[in-house]
Amino acid sequence: MGEMFSSFDGTMLYLNKEIPDGARAAAVIVHGLCEHQGRYDYFADLFHQSGIGTYRFDHRGHGRSEGERTHYDDFNELLDDTNVVVDMAIAENPDIPVFLIGHSMGGFTVSLYGVKYQNKGLRGIITSGALTKDHGGLITGVPKDMDPHTQLPNELGAGVCSVAEVVDWYGKDPYNSKTFTTGLCYAICSGLDWFAEREKEFSYPVLMLHGEKDGLVSVQDTYDFFAAAASKDKQMKIYGNLFHEIFNEYCRDEVIGDVIAWISRRI
């Protein structure tokens, strides 16, 4: 089911491509820090049942993809890897609309992508718990004078979800990373600075989602991005009492259903 593909610089990345017969749309799903595309199996299955195909890939240095573990030299690596998959999805599905979905660091990626890669033909972008300002200090709080290859412990687990089973499996999942590098943090910080000067250029149709009690990425990030985006078609929904991973929360069917409904109205 999975395959490897060559990204813009020759790095081999793991891709899971699933297009149901008669698909009416396709979506590229971009995962978050220290996780992998396989954590979106349930999400993708509901999409397939709704006639929406999915393209899921492991970020470089994550999951089954090549690259130094959880390391980036430049935030553009995230955007440019995603662009290869977006181009693939558009080329392979010329008769149906393509959407882009990103969670957390993936939300950071698709938000910046929307500015760097304008007029790509995407029908819309969806963000979930997107890191666009880091009001919570998750990444910007890392000291700036460390070797970029220094490994920091992944202590995100308890804050990812209010569902105990999700938190338990998060720590056991062999494809989740136990550490991440300071270089990744520095690259994201650079991207946040870049985006701060350009977020008003974001004009794609967009749905911004966030959990009210997200303790990893502040809901204020989404409030600020929503206010700044130039999109004429923009919606925001904040889910009361939900933590960071709204697609894994106890009401995940409602949340995923909201995304499917938003996409369906734009096909």
Q: What is the pLDDT of residues 27-75, one digit of tens each?
A: 999 999 999 999 999 999 999 999 999 999 999 999 999 999 999 999 9
Q: What is the CATH number of the domain that holds 208?
A: 3.40.50.1820
Q: What is the pLDDT of residues 162-210, one digit of tens each?
A: 888 888 878 888 888 989 999 999 999 999 999 999 999 999 999 999 9
Give me the domain span that covers residue 70. 2-264
Asked if 104 and 128 touch (Cβ cutoff 8 Å), the reply is yes
Asked if 248 and 161 touch (Cβ cutoff 8 Å), the reply is yes
Please tell me the total count of domains within the chain. 1
| More confident call, 26 vs 157 | 26
Place of tokens 């929904």: 237
How confident is the model over 67-94, as a mean pLDDT? 98
> Residue 39: which of 263, 247, 254 has the closest Cα?
247
Residue 239 confidence (pLDDT): 98
